[in-house]
Amino acid sequence: MAKTVVISGGTFGLGKDIALGLARSGYEVVAFGLDSKQPASIAKNSISALRTLAEVERLPLLVLEADVTNEQDIAAVVSATIDRFGKIDAVVNNAAIGPLGKAMDTDPELWDRVIAVNLKGPYLLARAVIPHLRQQNGGSIVNVGSGAGWGKANMLAYGVSKGGLTAFNASMALDYFAGHIRVNMVIPGGGGIAGGITQGRNNDYGAGVAQKYIGSVAGRPVNGEDMMAAIRFLISDDATAISGTIIDIGCFFHQGSSTPPGVNV
């Protein structure tokens, strides 16, 4: 029987790549997000396009508009998932906004929104689906982190939110260990990622994509297919004994390691 996966921020950018890749791999997918532009993002008016693509390819992909910070929206997503597919086996907490800024140039309202989307959102979605994962005698939660969670210049709110998500990942893995609910994190590392946040930073701030970057051991930047493949493994039956871990998809220099030999940045 196909597994059913709910993906926040799954209507654009890396999230869209993850949703399409899983659906094309035979998973039943519910992808949700907002159609309006968010801070430091170019994602807008993307929901209808993804719905059309899913229909053309006849994919098991339900596309919804919902705000991950709104508890009623999350409840509606969960209800629609159960109505359509009858169960929930996995969740991918991908929705995020990543404006640049230090303490003095980050407005309190923007700070609150970043924390709400990037940290409260995963909590709300996990809280809503855990009863359904328990009905399945277990399941998988995958959190999409960032190297900024270890601290990066001019990314205060974003870095704090992603650092909190790392703690959330570990705490959730411990809390639901006995219930066979595994909780893991993936991090797109190495820079040069042409995702919605990176492009949005370019548009909003004139900066975001480094001209030089570490990339990945594959000799190229990480892409949505790389992200999807790692997530597909973590939610599969091949990973039923793995919880509380972090898979760095790219280069882990942001976690304190040195620059890999032979790489010029």
233-246: pLDDT as tens digits: 999 999 999 999 99
Give the residue with greater pLDDT, 59 vs 13.
Answer: 59
**Percent of the chain scored above 90 by pLDDT?**
68
Burial pattern 30-56, b for ≥16 Cβ within 10 A else e, equals bbbbbeeebbbbbbeebbeebbeebee
Angle between helices 13-24 and 224-234 (to 10 degrees): 50
Q: Which residues pair with 93 in a beta bridge?
A: 8, 143
CA distance 8 to 245: 20
Q: Has residue 124 been placed in a domain? A: yes
Q: Which residues pair with 186 in a beta bridge?
A: 144, 247
Q: What is the pLDDT of residue 216?
A: 82
CA distance 2 to 88: 10
Q: What is the pLDDT of residue 68?
A: 97
Which of 234, 256, 257, 245 lies closest to 91 in space, CA to CA? 234
Q: Has residue 254 been placed in a domain? A: no
Q: Is the pLDDT at 211 greater than 60, yes or no?
A: no
Q: What is the pLDDT of residue 83?
A: 98
**212 counts as catalytic:** no
Q: Which residues pair with 31 in a beta bridge?
A: 7, 63
Q: What are phi and psi of 256, to 5 degrees?
A: 110, -5
Of 44, 87, 152, 162, which residue is the catalytic one? 162
Q: Has residue 260 been placed in a domain? A: no
- Structural domain including 136 reads 4-249
CA distance 188 to 222: 7
Mean pLDDT of 159-173: 97
Q: Has residue 264 been placed in a domain? A: no
CA distance 157 to 101: 7
CA distance 44 to 36: 5
Q: How many domains does the chain have?
A: 1
Q: Which residues pair with 185 in a beta bridge?
A: 143, 246
Which of 193, 197, 195 lies closest to 159 in space, CA to CA? 197
What is the pLDDT confidence band of residue 221, given thresholds at 50, 70 and 90? confident
Q: Has residue 200 been placed in a domain? A: yes
Comparing 203-212, 239-248, 254-263, the range with the smallest average pLDDT is: 203-212
Q: What is the pLDDT of residue 217?
A: 82
Which of 234, 228, 8, 240 lies closest to 138 in space, CA to CA? 240
What is the pLDDT confidence band of residue 152, given thresholds at 50, 70 and 90? confident
pLDDT tens digit string along 45-74?
A: 789 999 999 999 999 999 999 999 999 999
Q: Has residue 116 been placed in a domain? A: yes
Q: What are phi and psi of 209, to 5 degrees?
A: -95, 120
Q: Has residue 257 been placed in a domain? A: no
- Radius of gyration of the CA atoms of the chain, in A: 17
Comparing 88-92, 153-157, 180-184, the range with the smallest average pLDDT is: 153-157
Comparing 143-152, 178-187, 188-197, 247-256, the range with the smallest average pLDDT is: 188-197
Question: CATH no. for residue 90?
Answer: 3.40.50.720
Q: Has residue 35 been placed in a domain? A: yes
pTM: 0.91
Which of 150, 229, 227 lies closest to 188 in space, CA to CA? 227
Mean pLDDT of 198-218: 61
CA distance 247 to 61: 26
